[in-house]
Every structure is written in structure tokens, then in C-alpha cells.
Amino acid sequence: MDQYQLKERLESDTVAYWDLLGIQIIAVHRSGDVELSLEMRPELETRIPGIMHGGAISSLIDSAAGAAVSTTRGEDDDTWQGQATLDLNVTFLKPAKTVAIARATILRTTKSLAFVTVDVKDANEELLATGRATYTIIRSR
């Protein structure tokens, strides 16, 4: 699949939680490499006005990593049932104030596991947070 087909498939696989938060697909660069964004709005603030809540950033990281994993599914893989987060680690470096853009890249996959790294930047390319995630790939028997 080319990047446009992968993006189209990813758009059809999104979950309602993305809509609730306002997560948008920016790009699918290739299989295992995606970018998502989350715009700041009052509902996502901490008690400090203008600062995005860490939970929103963590959700963006988890969503981007999961999206990257989902793009690795083969077109004719009838055993693929989905993926689930096994482990998620987030390191916050700077507060997000406007937009958070997450780029997730697969580091390694096996038949049942995927290891992903995620960088979250603002519109000025300032690094806001990093994440590492491990996913299980759920397959039918």
C-alpha cells in the first residue's frame, strides 16, 4: 500500500476517543510512520490556563503509536484482529501551549509485538514530550 492508501485505511479505523479529544491525522509517511495532531482548547487545559494536560499528551502519544502499528497490517493478513497497548512510557520536556504534533515510528515488530517511539513537538518544532510504547498484535487462531 502507498501512503495515501494507508492514510485512507487509518482514517476508517479511528476510534470515537480521537473525536472526543480532537486528534487529527496529519500524515502517514509510510507503513509504521504516522503523524497526528492535537490542538489546544480550554477543555484540555490544566489548572494553569494555557497549558495542555499531560493526560491529553499521553493519549496523543498512545494514539499515534497505535496508529503506526495499525499501518503495518498486511493487506491480505486475515489473522489481524487489532492491537492493544502493553506498556506506555511518557517523558514530558516542555508544556504544550498551542498544538501538539506527534510522530510515531515503529522501531521493531514481531508476529505478536510492536515497539514504537513517539516524539511530540509544537508548531515551531520544539520537542515537548517523548514516548515509547509496546503493543501486542491481536490475532485470530
pLDDT digits (tens, 9 = 90+) for 25-78: 999 999 999 999 999 999 999 999 999 999 999 999 999 999 999 999 877 778
Cell numbers that stand for 70 in this block: 495499525
Residues of 76-113 as b/e, b for ≥16 C-beta within 10 angstroms? eeeeeeebeeeebebeeeeebeebbbbbbbbeebeeee
Amino acid 57 reads: I
Write out the residue range of the structural domain in which residue 40 sits: 3-139
Count up the domains in the chain and report the number.
1
Q: Using CA of residue 109, residue 15, residue 38, residue 21, what is the dihedral sign?
A: negative
* CATH number of 62's domain: 3.10.129.10
Global pTM reads: 0.92
Amino acid 62 reads: D
